Amino acid sequence: MTRQRILLIVLLAWALVMILPDVLRVVQPLGSFGFYADNDGMIYEVIAPFDEEHQSPAWNAGIREGDQLALSKLRCFPYDPTTCGNALMVLGGHQYVLKGQQATFNLKATGDLPARQITLIAAQVPANPFERFIVLMDQIAGILVVVAAAWLVWTRPGRMSWSFFLYVMWFNPGQFYAFYALLAQWPLVMLGQNIAGAIAEAVGYTGLLQFVLRAPDDEPDRKWRWLERLLPVIAIVLAVLMLLTYGNLGGFRTESGTRFAILAGFAVAVCAVGILLERTRRKPPEDFQRMRWVVWRCLIGLPAFLFAELASSTTIFETRWENFTPSEDVIGLLYLVNGILCLFVFEAVRRERVVSVSIPLRRVTILGLTLSIPALLLHHEVEYMQEHLAIPNWAWIVIGAGALYLISRLHEGATHLTDRYFNRDLDKAERTIGAAILKAKDPLEVDRLLAEQRTTGSN
């Protein structure tokens, strides 16, 4: 076994270890202190992820929106395991902890209230079957994407396959809430994970650029060789930006820096799409469809992922007029869309020939509708059932399995009807050419019929 494959196994194991614990959230939701703080320590939510005020430990303890955490007393340097652990549980975009977790926070004086110290015990977060279903789908998609990318490296090692793996190792739909909630028991380990994660995120962005410069056949593009030589510098700059976002663990305000770092990643994504579009125009016909699969994945999947990252890690959608931050359900669906479209890229690289990208895009759209429409119609009914009916957790699993079966049948039927509508010309051509081939007298006539049909279709 080569050193590359050993490294691949280690990185794949790390990626899966981050994803797999969240599968447990399907049957056992995590806990929360009942408040969200941005990277400046400003508390902007004191009820979510709970449904009612009285369910939130933070609200019951007297914490209100606009209260400010004392970052100077909530840091990891100089190191104190208790203080550092408390900081890691609420800063840096982390919103969930283990049920029953206890932590103490110092709040600054605000208005008529003096500076005070409050101890909270995390309560279990309620979750309806649809939320659990989205979590399960995200985790399954994340596992599939990471394993598929690793398979490409194993079977076709090269810059292109490695860069795609390094990208999806961090930018996959799998959620890490349970993983970080477990790590919070060991602050030093979690601190090391944050540092490694910041570097992995920077490498992932750089891997995206490397991939679009080499797709779909791992051949260097002379026109963009100058950018390929700059990739190590770009990776270092992005890594520094990502690491600085954890400056709040040292007592510094980093909300603006976090937004800037994520927007820098967005700029990298925009550049990647621009490069893909330029390279696609210069590709021969046999590679054109494969490149279009990659292009559409970037046009839809990247904005969906980055929008979800901004919504879950910053307060950028909190405005003076309205809070436009989407719900956790919507954020999960955005991650799921990104994951499904990552599989497009896997297929485009794995296969030498692919069908028109409009067919799988159409099916992904139908899948999104079959997931979102029942959710919108049943969301409040499920909450009512949870509140008024004493249904055990195992029963919700059965209900979820039945809902999954019905949604899959609905998706299958909708896909069949849509394909029949949009593929009418293709089906007509298939019947025509099939009848003509049955009447052919020799193989040469079959070749002639296929060539004529291919010419007609291209015109």
Tell me what pLDDT residue 236 has: 94
Q: Span 295-305, mean pLDDT? A: 77
pLDDT-derived band at 154, boundaries 50, 70, 90: very high
pLDDT tier, 403 (very low <50, low <70, confident <90, very high otherwise): low
More confident residue, 375 or 9: 9
Calculate ∠ Cα 14-234-315, nearest 5°: 70
pLDDT at position 231 is: 94
> 198 versus 456: which is more confidently predicted?
198
Q: How confident is the model at residue 408 (pLDDT cuts 50, 70, 90)?
A: low
pLDDT given at position 179: 93
pLDDT in tens, 75-130: 888 888 999 999 988 886 677 899 999 999 999 988 778 889 999 999 998 877 77
> Which of the residue ranges 89-93, 120-124, 197-201, 247-251 would you say has the lowest mean pLDDT?
89-93
pLDDT band at 458 (very low <50, low <70, confident <90, very high): very low
Render pLDDT for 362-379 as a digit per residue (tens, 0 to 9): 555 555 555 555 555 555
- Residue 1 Cα to chain centre, angstroms: 32
What pLDDT shows up at residue 122?
A: 93
Neighbour count for residue 293 (Cβ, 10 Å): 25
What pLDDT is recorded for position 404? 59
HEC states along the chain? CCHHHHHHHHHHHHHHHHHHHHHHHHCCCCEECCCEECCCCEEEECCCCCCCHHHCHHHHCCCCCCCEECHHHCCCCCCCHHHHHHHHHHCCCCCCECCCCEEEEEECCECCECCEEEEEECEECCCCHHHHHHHHHHHHHHHHHHHHHHHHHHHCCCHHHHHHHHHHHHCCCCCCHHHHHHHCCCHHHHHHHHHHHHHHHHHHHHHHHHHHHHCCCCCCCHHHHHHHHHHHHHHHHHHHHHHHHHHHHHCCCCHHHHHHHHHHHHHHHHHHHHHHHHHHHCCCHHHHHHHHHHHHHHHHHHHHHHHHHHHHHCCCCECCCCECCCCHHHHHHHHHHHHHHHHHHHHHHHCCCCCCCHHHHHHHHHHHHHHHHHHHHHHHHHHHHHHHCCCCHHHHHHHHHHHHHHHHHHHHHHHHHHHHHHCHHHHHHHHHHHHHHHCCCCHHHHHHHHHHHHHHHHC
Identify which has the larger pLDDT, 255 or 395: 255
d(CA 91, CA 154): 37
Please, are residues 76 and 187 in contact by the beta-carbon 8 Å criterion?
A: yes
Mean pLDDT across 171-190: 90
* pLDDT per position as a tens digit, 341-357: 787 777 777 777 655 55
Place 36 in a pLDDT band, splitting at 50, 70 and 90. confident
State yes or no: pLDDT of 323 exceeds 80: no
* pLDDT tens per residue, range 22-33: 988 888 889 999
> Which is more confidently placed, 363 or 41?
41
Q: Under a CB-based contact definition with an 8 Å cutoff, are residues 250 and 218 in contact? A: no
pLDDT beyond 60 at 4: yes
> What is the pTM assigned to this prediction?
0.76
- B/e letters for 160-179, b = 16+ CB within 10 Å, e = fewer, are bbbbbbbbbbbbbbbbbbbb
Alpha-carbon distance values, 172 to 128, 145, 169, 341 (Å)? 24, 7, 6, 10
- How does residue 358 score in pLDDT terms, banded at 50, 70 and 90? low
- Range name among 110-114, 321-325, 374-378, 428-432 with the lowest pLDDT average: 374-378
Give the separation between CA 459 and CA 85, rounded to whole angstroms.
65
Most confident of 41-45, 158-162, 341-345, 406-410: 158-162
> pLDDT confidence of 459, banded at 50, 70, 90?
very low
Q: Which residue has the tokens 């194991």?
A: 13
Percentage of the chain lying above the pLDDT 90 cut? 28
